[in-house]
Amino acid sequence: MLIYYGYTEKAAEYLLTRNLKPGDRVVLKLRDGSILRGILLPRPELYSTSNIINIKLSNGYNVGIDISKIESIEKEEVAVTVEHGLIETTMEKKQQGNLPRVTMLSTGGTIASKVDYSTGAVTPALKPEEIIEWIPELTDIAVVNTREIMSIFSEDMNPKLWEKIAEEVYRELTSGVSGVVVAHGTDTMSYTASALAFGISNKSAPIVFVGSQRSSDRPSTDAVFNLISAFIVASKAPFAESVIAMHRDISDEYNAVHRGVKARKMHTSRRDAFQSINDKPLAIVNPLTHELKVIGKIYEYRGEKQPVLKARFDDKVALIKVYPGLQGEIIDFLVDKGYHGIVLEGTGLGHASNSLLNTIKRAVENGIPVVMTSQCLFGHVNMNVYSTGRRYLEAGVIPGRDILPEVAYVKLSWILGSITRDLDEVRKLFELNLVGEFNDRHTLDLYPRWYYE
Amino acid sequence: MLIYYGYTEKAAEYLLTRNLKPGDRVVLKLRDGSILRGILLPRPELYSTSNIINIKLSNGYNVGIDISKIESIEKEEVAVTVEHGLIETTMEKKQQGNLPRVTMLSTGGTIASKVDYSTGAVTPALKPEEIIEWIPELTDIAVVNTREIMSIFSEDMNPKLWEKIAEEVYRELTSGVSGVVVAHGTDTMSYTASALAFGISNKSAPIVFVGSQRSSDRPSTDAVFNLISAFIVASKAPFAESVIAMHRDISDEYNAVHRGVKARKMHTSRRDAFQSINDKPLAIVNPLTHELKVIGKIYEYRGEKQPVLKARFDDKVALIKVYPGLQGEIIDFLVDKGYHGIVLEGTGLGHASNSLLNTIKRAVENGIPVVMTSQCLFGHVNMNVYSTGRRYLEAGVIPGRDILPEVAYVKLSWILGSITRDLDEVRKLFELNLVGEFNDRHTLDLYPRWYYE
């Protein structure tokens, strides 16, 4: 089978004979008389057998055009110069040994799946040669190695699996790779990215989580752009942090790189679902030009370092959302069941009903650390403003500053599992900014702009 | 004591003798030689005895200027023509009988408090004559009546108190007022606004929740602008819904009016903390010009209607956040304790770990409705995309469409308390869009813009 930038058969031949490559600026004249201008994109769907080529129009939208409807197509000007080989049945493109080595660990999720278009079935994982055939650009970025370490949807992720992922990533980092890409389902990606942030310290290179929000009714998946971006970040970013690389917005122009402990999935389906909360994103990446621009504050730099693995996570920790009517008996149950830690997703500046105060006191008196975060998500917890907050502080609750509830949960699980269960020690560790999970300086532009037009 | 637009003593006299009123465009020459241009604002702090006047600069910032530092102040041009009387010690301004009648019910919270500047103590509530002395503009908008129905911080709100508020609001609506303003703490304001949306149907007039995010270290509170806006909405908005009126952004230009069931407190401290999620705001209001502009889709119109009170809320409902490692024993505990309903704040498109599937099945088999929402907040739940979602649907979980987790909790509590506990009936009612809690048509501009510069 002829494969050319993910295009196959007729579409591949069509582009190949016209010497057109992804990144080329093209003018199409269609048989219905319309004229389209845009940039040719790589075929986003893996081995699609359709006769459609994908064009990114100047207004940002991507359209798929059936080649039978094209009267003529011409190159306007070369927007990006990239050199790729033609790929026949087996991988002919040599991996270039002088490039950085990047390992992709596949854990499952939408991004690690491929669709068999004849049956509609989803095959669980991509093999190294498959991903390179699909996205030949990757071999211009790195010497690619991939391993499947598990194959699950991310809603089934749990603290024990975080430990396995941490061990595998650690193994790669100590083997001297320039970066690790972790393909992961998006549902709980920010939890796992946070777990890796805490579980491996003194990181030598970036750990880049990447996923895909594709839905089958869209003409294009976001996986190609996200994967290219993830490999760019893994191979050359100056930071050595656990990050998430996903679409910056709904165009296919830039990917955003978020610090894992400051990122959150904020939309159920949009490709730009992941956004940084209470901190600037670390970087933006252009997957066509391979440009990586750091826009945030780096917490840990890449370097010749010996990573340290401390990645045990306590699964007797609960994340409890506070709401009007929350009954103390739920907290009491956790205490009675011997839970080791509780994170509250409180209201406003870090509040819960005064009716729960004694229940929380009892938990703390039982040696259980209780951390307060805010369901507002944006802004700092400040428990000194109102009397309720002060009462909870007096009861021994640990204020979570501007940490996300989900990240507080991961951090507490990590402290209790990997370091200590002594309440005073836990408190001290929780109040330390270990991997950039706290940001004390909020600028006005950390809150997004809402539309009112 | 001389009170003039909330200014007192020297500042009041200073403005009065110069015939300057809030809304006037002024040019100030300061003793240090600087020149400021802006709009004179009402004194935001209640009965502040300071000699500071507040100016809104053209760049949107508000500054407080000590009158001793002003060399000269001149009116540039009348931006807004409003006619107010001078208020001496007691209320002299007559309430104008031909204006709409609006009742403000005070439940507590920051907005209903006043600070005694000599002692620093916070007095719990505003009396009608005090609020009118503080904000004389209100008497241009409505004949104002206020009642304190409780005095608590909103973190202490609970379903039983929602019932009391609903009864009091119902009483006002049936007495024929043009609108009801509910002063409420911001922490759980959107929960209560949702409770009122469901608890009173066939509404004749708007129910307008209003609060304040003031923090003592800021030169101005947001209470004045929010209260004026709330009264404008209550007196003349064409919709008869339970809404929230708070700052649109951090300038003092517009207030936004959000449908209660689509609003959420998204920031712990910013004045524009409340934003609409998955729907357009209903309206914007300019508290200086009194202009109210409808920008969203109205669900229920104002009219000569007989409101219906059905406002019992079941407090045996739990809102459970889903996270990696959530143990089934917490759900089992709720079932064993005889809870009547559970709302899950799931991941992504509406997922939870497959390891929890049997636990959830057991809950449903026990006749307990389980509703699935998403912790992404933005976007629709769609449980048909992945096998996990389909399995939960088969287990009998009710998909929550694009409803906010908090609103799903209130709706379920209301259905179980006011209508039925029959599982099939609950399911049917939950799937009905009763007060605009669902929005099936999402446009791209419902997701805010994030800063990357």
Determine the pLDDT at residue A78. 44
Phi-psi region of B328 (alpha: psi -120 to 50; beta: other; left: phi over 0): alpha
CATH number at residue B418: 3.40.50.40
Residue A418 and residue A125: Cα distance in Å, rounded?
31
Determine the pLDDT at residue B290. 92
Tell whether A103 is covered by a domain. Answer: yes
Q: Higher confidence at residue B119 or residue B406?
A: B406
pLDDT of residue A125 exceeding 50, the answer is yes
Tokens in use for A390?
A: 């002060």
Quickly state the pLDDT bin for B91 (edges 50, 70, 90): very low
**Residues near A233 by beta carbon (within 8 Å), at least 6 away in sequence:** A179, A206, A208, A243, A245, A257, A283, A285, A292
Residues of A within 8 A of B409 (CB-CB) are 323
Q: Which helix (H) or strand (E) holds B237?
A: none
Strand partners, A74: A27
CB B80 within 8 A of CB B289: yes
Q: Same domain, yes or no, for A62 and A95?
A: no
B231 interfaces chain A, CB cutoff of 8 Å: no
Q: What is the mean pLDDT of residues B409-417?
A: 98
B439 interfaces chain A, CB cutoff of 8 Å: no
Q: Same domain, yes or no, for A413 and A285?
A: no
Domain that holds residue B25: 3-78
Tokens in use for B156?
A: 């202490």
CB A200 within 8 A of CB A215: no
Tokens in use for B197?
A: 């949306």
> Does the beta-carbon distance from B187 to A295 stay under 8 Å?
no
Determine the pLDDT at residue A90. 32
Q: Helix A328-336 vs helix B328-336: angle between axes, to the nearest 10 degrees?
A: 120
Determine the pLDDT at residue A379. 98
Q: Same domain, yes or no, for B210 and B358?
A: no
CB B101 within 8 A of CB B143: yes
Quickly state the pLDDT bin for B168 (edges 50, 70, 90): very high
Residue A333 and residue A248: Cα distance in Å, rounded?
42
Of A309, A336, A362, the one marking the end of a domain is A309
pLDDT digits (tens, 9 = 90+) for B441-453: 999 999 999 999 8
Q: Same domain, yes or no, for A305 and A322?
A: no
CB-neighbour burial class of residue A177 (10 A; exposed 0-12, middle 13-18, buried 19+): buried
CB B179 within 8 A of CB B205: yes
CA distance A157 to chain B (A): 6
Tell whether A411 is covered by a domain. Answer: yes
Phi, psi (rounded to 5 degrees) for B10:
-60, -45
Residue position matching structure tokens 């409803």: B403
Strand partners, B432: none
Q: Higher confidence at residue B425 or residue B8?
A: B425
Q: Please report the DSSP string for A57-109 in residue order.
A: ETTS-EEEEEGGGEEEEEEEEESS------EESS--SPP-TTSPEEEEEE--S
Tell whether B85 is covered by a domain. Answer: no
Residues of A within 8 A of B281 (CB-CB) are 452
A281 interfaces chain B, CB cutoff of 8 Å: yes
CB-neighbour burial class of residue B248 (10 A; exposed 0-12, middle 13-18, buried 19+): buried
CB A241 within 8 A of CB A300: yes
Q: CA separation (Å) from A295 to A4, A66, A252, A319?
A: 34, 39, 19, 32
pLDDT digits (tens, 9 = 90+) for B321-377: 999 999 999 999 999 999 999 999 999 999 999 999 999 999 999 999 999 999 999
pLDDT digits (tens, 9 = 90+) for A337-352: 999 999 999 999 999 9
Q: Helix B387-394 vs helix B357-365: angle between axes, to the nearest 10 degrees?
A: 20
pLDDT of residue B125 exceeding 60, the answer is no
Q: What is the mean pLDDT of residues A216-242?
A: 84
Determine the pLDDT at residue A193. 98
Determine the pLDDT at residue A46. 56
Tokens in use for A65?
A: 């055009």
Determine the pLDDT at residue A356. 98
pLDDT of residue B92 exceeding 50, the answer is no
Quickly state the pLDDT bin for B78 (edges 50, 70, 90): very low
> Does the beta-carbon distance from A388 to B155 stay under 8 Å?
yes
Determine the pLDDT at residue B135. 78
- DSSP reduced 3-state for B245: strand
Residues of A within 8 A of B186 (CB-CB) are 348
Alpha helices in B127-252 (DSSP H): 128-134, 138-141, 159-174, 189-199, 223-236
Q: Same domain, yes or no, for A339 and A380?
A: yes
B321 interfaces chain A, CB cutoff of 8 Å: yes
Determine the pLDDT at residue B82. 34
Q: Same domain, yes or no, for B296 and B322?
A: no
Q: Please report the DSSP string for B98-151 in residue order.
A: TSPEEEEEE--SGGG-EE-TTT--EES---HHHHHHH-TTHHHH-EEEEEE---
Q: What is the mean pLDDT of residues B153-182?
A: 97
Q: Same domain, yes or no, for B191 and B109?
A: yes
A154 interfaces chain B, CB cutoff of 8 Å: yes
Tell whether A126 is covered by a domain. Answer: yes
Q: Same domain, yes or no, for B69 and B210?
A: no
Catalytic residue among B8, B103, B107, B110: B110
Q: CA separation (Å) from A111 to A211, B82, B156, B347, B366?
A: 5, 61, 44, 17, 37
Q: How many CB atoms lie under 10 A from the CB of residue B255? A: 31
Q: Same domain, yes or no, for B171 and B257?
A: yes
Residue position matching structure tokens 């209640």: B46
Residues of B within 8 A of A414 (CB-CB) are none
Closest alpha carbon within chain A to B162: A324
Q: Which residue type does A111 have? A: I
Phi-psi region of A237 (alpha: psi -120 to 50; beta: other; left: phi over 0): beta
> Does the beta-carbon distance from A269 to B447 stay under 8 Å?
no
Q: Same domain, yes or no, for B146 and B209?
A: yes
Tokens in use for B70?
A: 């002003």
CB-neighbour burial class of residue B116 (10 A; exposed 0-12, middle 13-18, buried 19+): exposed
Q: Name the nearest CA neighbour of A265 among A123, A407, A399, A103.
A: A407
Quickly state the pLDDT bin for B81 (edges 50, 70, 90): very low
SS3 content of chain A, % helix, strand, coil (to 5): 30, 25, 45
Q: Same domain, yes or no, for B305 and B322?
A: no
Residue position matching structure tokens 């702009």: A449
Phi, psi (rounded to 5 degrees) for A138:
-60, -30
In the residue annotation, B265 being an active-site residue is answered as yes
Q: Same domain, yes or no, for B119 and B140?
A: yes
CATH number at residue A64: 2.30.30.520
Q: Tell me the ipTM for this assembly.
A: 0.83
- A179-A305-A437 Cα angle (round to 5): 70
Query: How long, in residues, is chain A?
Result: 453
> Does the beta-carbon distance from A266 to B158 stay under 8 Å?
no
Q: What is the mean pLDDT of residues A220-227?
A: 82
Residue B192 and residue B265: Cα distance in Å, rounded?
12
Strand partners, A179: A102
pLDDT digits (tens, 9 = 90+) for A41-87: 876 665 556 788 888 776 666 677 888 889 999 887 643 333 333 33
Residues of B within 8 A of A164 (CB-CB) are none
Query: How long, in residues, is chain B?
Result: 453
B337 interfaces chain A, CB cutoff of 8 Å: yes
CB B207 within 8 A of CB B299: no
Residue B37 and residue B27: Cα distance in Å, rounded?
5
B85, B86, B90, B93: CA torsion to nearest 10: 0
Residue B234 and residue B426: Cα distance in Å, rounded?
32
Of B287, B309, B331, the one marking the end of a domain is B309
In chain A, how many domains are there? 3
Determine the pLDDT at residue A109. 79
pLDDT digits (tens, 9 = 90+) for B221-240: 788 889 999 999 999 999 99
Determine the pLDDT at residue B94. 52
Tell whether A436 is covered by a domain. Answer: no
Strands A200-201 and A308-309, bridge-based pairing = antiparallel
Q: What is the mean pLDDT of residues A124-133?
A: 65
Tell whether A85 is covered by a domain. Answer: no
Q: What is the mean pLDDT of chain A?
A: 88
Of A309, A341, A363, the one marking the end of a domain is A309
Quickly state the pLDDT bin for A127 (edges 50, 70, 90): low
pLDDT digits (tens, 9 = 90+) for A189-204: 999 999 999 999 999 9
